[in-house]
Chain A
Amino acid sequence: MSAEPIDAGPDVEESGTEDRRRLEWTWKYASGFWGWLCEVDHTRIGKRYVVTSLIFFALGGIEALMMRVQLARPENGFLGPDLYNEIFTTHGSTMMFLFAVPMMLGLGTYFVPLMVGTRNIAFPRLNSFSYFVYLIGGLFLYTAFFLNTGPDAGWFAYVPLSGPQFSPGKRVDVWAQMITFTEISSLAVAANLITTIFKQRAPGMSLNRIPMFVWAMLVTSFMVIFAMPAVMLSSLMLALDRLIDTHFFNPANGGDAILWQHLFWFFGHPEVYIIFIPATGIVSTLLPAFTRREVFGYMALVLSLVATGFIGFGLWVHHMFATGLPQLGASFFTAASIMIAIPSGAQIFCWIATLWGGRLRFQTPLLYVLGFIFTFLIGGLTGVMVAAVPLDLQVHDTFFVVAHFHYVLIGGAVFPLLGGLFYWFPKMTGRMLSEGWGKVSFWLVFLGFNLTFFPMHVLGLHGMPRRVYTYLPETGWGDLNLLSTIGSGVLALGVLIYVINMLSSLVTGAPAGNDPWESDTLEWATSSPPPPYNFLHLPTVSGRSPMWLWREDQPIVTGLRSDRREFLITGLMDAEPDHRQVSPGPTIWPFVLSLGVGLTFIVGIFTPWGLPIGAVPCAIALAAWFWPRGDQGHTVLKEKS
């Protein structure tokens, strides 16, 4: 099949110039700085998410390099204990809360509406609000960090160390509120994505035709909804313990330190799959494009995702084996942790089958997929090892675990992400990245990564606890640490080249066209970058690979009004057209609300009056946000009096 029918696809170039002009006008982006604050378009906001989280990735990476420099030699004096503790806590928190999750949700925000073939995300204003709350959380953390008030109790802030007695000052409060900000933001995005996926799929996109990435985002969103309340609740309790002397975690007054661990890990374990599952979605998206075959085992992959989502809620205790649980209970969590290897394995096998059955194009994204298989496999296998209670008792809280989770986080999530960004960059910017530099950066990242983290397994087995700011020369850990530090330099060089490639391609990259990779999903049916209305005519779908299946007589949706932001709502199961709605336009109120929320929680660090003080601007913003303006094209039942 040539590129022709695709060009003549949903976004028919020559047709409907009049329609196009009107859509252009109706959906046009808000302009200027004020417009930036008001914008509600999902590609704009998705792009913000991606760029912002990349910046946080760079910050987290720089912190990682500082830690590596400090650990390169025994008794090194580069960072003292105070700064080191702040830096590893900020590194972990940044990478988990400000980079990995927002990046995945940001890609979801950008691509889910395109992939399901609709005009905008379900609740565009909520989307704008989510972004600003996330931004405020991130800025708050880093402002505090540079004011020497960065959190220093670890990314899971175990009490009582993080409690009022052992962490006086505001450092831990900053952490707790940053959590609140990012979780509010993630929850809002999750609700938004679920609704978009349920109700806005292109006609014909029944459940069994949903693209794998969209499935992944759906499962992720559900996990967000059931996992994040746990960390919001626990960080609320911690904040209250610190601010108004409640005793949730204070054993002297009936509280319990282990309660914190249960609540945190009830969130914390699903969290790692919240990062990992979208990455698997990216892998399943990249494979068809670079093997020129539909991904093998669609049903198996979907079931694996769903199974992972469910089982993921039954594993949290495997982070707490060393607290001394009853044998039987611990064995249950070992069994559950080991069980989750089955869906992961099933996915890996399906992907290998896809590779086997495909005609491969060894371009950078595919290299990242292969690098992913290699590294994630190692990380997954060490995961199975630490799931065994006896073995975990040895390696828990050592660099072995640090190695495990960087293998799964970087190998399992960042590699697919780098591949995915390479693949989607043309769609988002209209320009191709340089393939040559892409390959160079891949090899540097891949080799540097393994050089950095492989030795950590050995260090852990040889007794090196994690979170130590230095170690004694006689421990014998120096050489492997030096090796690891050198590796992190190589890794950083690779990332730097990747970033430079992105920046320079923005200017000099070859124009991408609509569909440079001849991919199968709908985001490639429109121009690069997509127009604010996404598609001139919403597409309909007749199979799993709409772009590959596109035929001349594939129907397109007509009859949506172009003089207002109208879009199509379809049925949950079979995506049959149901009704039309009008998507709200740009407005300042979500931004104002995010400021109100920010005010509430930031003042809340200092006084319980934060709640009532912040409630006022929040209430005003909400009322203004929802007050009807009669611009939604609804029937008026009672006139304004």
Chain B
Amino acid sequence: MNGPLVFLLLTNWTGGHSALHPMGPQAGHINDLWWLMFWVCAAVFVLVMVATGFAITRRSLPSGPPGPIPPASRRRMTGAVAGAIGVTVLILFALLIASVSTGRAIASLSSSKAPVIRLTGHQWWWEVEYQDPHPDRMVLTANEIHIPAGRPVLIQLSSNDVIHSFWVPNLHGKRDLIPGHDSEIWIQADKPGIYRGFCAEFCGYQHAHMGLLVIADPPDRFDAWYSAQLQSSVMPATPLQQRGRQLVEASPCAVCHSIQGTQAGGKLGPDLTHLASRRTLAAATLANNRGNLAGWILDPQTVKPGNHMPGNSLGSEDLQAILDYLESLK
């Protein structure tokens, strides 16, 4: 079995959210380091296996009683082994230097005018809050981070419960969100696009369904998005939506969810003020469409068993009203 070859075939197989498809400077540096290490290690592997192959196919030894290695071959072998160890030390030293300089390179990204985003991990969703000196210019959303393409962005990480880990393979390596240890990470996307992220640290039942999207917009689109998010929730435009809003305000939903401009002010679940502007539901688990939304509201425990939102028994009219309303929250 030829490891490296198979590897090459396989690594080009799937695209998407791969550490080997860097879309930002840090992922790019790491990608370079990866390929350096890959080729060096592949070479080491081939050399060692070739040596082993030679060793086991050598057929020139006379038979005789078992015992120590004859001094003549011992001397040759000592030389060879010592040489190999020497080469090993050199290679390792080179790899160490490559690793440290890559570390420097990825740490150098920063900017004083960068957007600052506070990312809080919850079991099993992400709270996203854009920081601003003016409290009324802060934006609160969930499971979706919009960033301006081509600019560094600072993400401040903290956790509300257990350890999570923020990882967007196309952009950068991961960084843990540890309760009691706030930390930060810089990211940058070179090109507009949608990059999938994952929670990488095991965090309980629904660790598997704790994804997020990083959406890199061209700067003007980002600004537009940001101003839209600053708005309070839209007013219901139809009687059905109006009814939906009343239902949400009066039902348990409001205990856990906030919708700005309404009486819903709960903090236990994702903010729903601009729910309809988001692409996914339940931490990048479902596409955000009417069917999925209905399924989620009625029975979140089937979609994500164990998650912290209880199921709801709603009459079909009530459900339609709530759906109409939530779908209007652009």
Contact = CB atoms under 8 A, between A and B. Distances in A.
A and B: direct contact (Cβ < 8 Å)? Answer: yes
Interface of A: 1, 80-82, 85, 153-154, 158, 160-161, 165-166, 251-252, 256-258, 288, 292-294, 296-297, 300, 322-324, 327, 330-331, 334-335, 338-339, 341-342, 345-346, 348-350, 352-360, 370, 373-374, 377-378, 381-382, 384-385, 387-398, 447, 450, 454-455, 457-458, 461-463, 465-472, 475-477, 479-480, 518, 520, 545, 548
B18 A463 contact: yes
A389 B103 contact: yes
A322 B181 CA distance: 12
B187 to A, nearest CB: 12
Contact of A334 (B80, B99, B305): B99
Contacts of B178: 257-258, 323
A44 B17 CA distance: 54
A396 B174 contact: yes
A226 to B, nearest CB: 26
A338 B305 contact: no
B96 interface: yes
Nearest to B12: A458
Interface string B160-176: 01110101010011111
Nearest to A471: B208
A82 B208 CA distance: 12
Contacts of B58: 356
Contact of B96 (A293, A322, A338): A338
B84 A392 contact: no
B237 interface: no
A373 B199 CA distance: 35
A394 B174 contact: yes
Nearest to A474: B16
A370 B276 CA distance: 59
Nearest to A167: B204
B67 to A, nearest CB: 6
Given A353-B77, A384-B41, A294 B162 contact: no
B84 A398 contact: no
Interface in B1-33: 1, 3, 6-7, 10-11, 13-20, 27, 29-30, 33
Q: Which of A294, A454, A463 has the most CB of B within 10 A?
A: A463
A257 B17 contact: no
Contacts of B174: 322, 393-394, 396-397
Given A160-B179, A322-B201, 7 more contacts: A257-B181, A331-B103, A390-B173, A395-B19, A397-B201, A465-B167, A465-B207
11 contacts: A160-B163, A161-B202, A251-B179, A293-B68, A324-B175, A348-B48, A355-B55, A387-B99, A391-B37, A463-B19, A465-B199
Contact of B6 (A153, A335, A454): A454
A457 B38 CA distance: 12
Given A331-B100, A334-B96, A360-B56, A391 B30 contact: yes
Contact of A161 (B15, B163, B285): B163
A458 B183 contact: no
A548 B30 contact: no
B133 interface: no
Given A322-B176, A390-B33, A391-B37, A458 B66 contact: no
B208 A470 contact: yes
B14 to A, nearest CB: 4
B73 A357 contact: yes
Contacts of A455: 10
Contact of B80 (A341, A353, A447): A353
Contacts of B180: 251-252, 256-257
A355 B305 contact: no
Contact of B65 (A251, A334, A358, A548): A548
A161 B204 contact: yes
A294 B200 contact: no
Nearest to B16: A476
A339 B173 CA distance: 24
B108 to A, nearest CB: 11
A346 B92 CA distance: 13
Contact of B161 (A166, A294, A335, A346): A166
A520 B67 CA distance: 9
B162 A161 contact: yes
Given A257-B180, A293-B67, A389-B99, A462 B81 contact: no
Contacts of B107: 327
Contacts of A348: 48
A324 B183 contact: yes
B34 interface: yes
Interface string B179-223: 111010100000000001011111111111000000000000000
B55 A296 contact: no
B162 A390 contact: no
Contacts of A396: 173-174, 200
A545 B306 CA distance: 61
A292 B103 contact: no
Contact of B16 (A81, A462, A467): A462
A311 B172 CA distance: 30
A34 B174 CA distance: 56
Shortest 7 CB-CB contacts between residues of A and residues of B:
A393-B173, A251-B180, A388-B99, A468-B208, A356-B55, A1-B65, A355-B55
A366 to B, nearest CB: 9
B63 interface: yes
B172 to A, nearest CB: 7
A325 to B, nearest CB: 10
A565 to B, nearest CB: 34
A472 B179 CA distance: 28
A355 B176 contact: no
A385 B41 contact: yes
A397 B88 contact: no
Nearest to A447: B1
A516 B300 CA distance: 65
Contacts of A390: 29-30, 33, 99, 102-103, 106, 173
Contacts of A294: 67-69
Q: Which of B38, B169, B185 has the most CB of A within 10 A?
A: B169
Given A85-B205, A258-B178, A384-B95, A293 B69 contact: yes
B63 A359 contact: yes
A565 B69 CA distance: 40
A494 to B, nearest CB: 15
A479 B13 CA distance: 10
Contacts of B19: 394-395, 461-463
Q: Which of A161, A166, A391, A398 has the most CB of B within 10 A?
A: A391
B206 to A, nearest CB: 6
Contacts of A355: 52, 55-56
Contacts of A335: 96
Nearest to A324: B183
Contact of A338 (B41, B92, B179): B92
B44 interface: yes
Contacts of B204: 85, 161, 166
A472 B103 contact: no
Given A81-B205, A300-B81, A342-B88, A377 B45 contact: yes
A357 B67 CA distance: 11
B49 A476 contact: no
B85 interface: yes
B116 to A, nearest CB: 17
A257 B181 CA distance: 9
Nearest to A81: B205
A447 B1 CA distance: 9
A624 B102 CA distance: 63
B161 A458 contact: no
B46 to A, nearest CB: 10
B137 interface: no
Contacts of B11: 458, 461
B165 A388 contact: no
Contacts of B74: 296, 357
B88 A341 contact: yes
Contacts of A342: 85, 88-89, 92
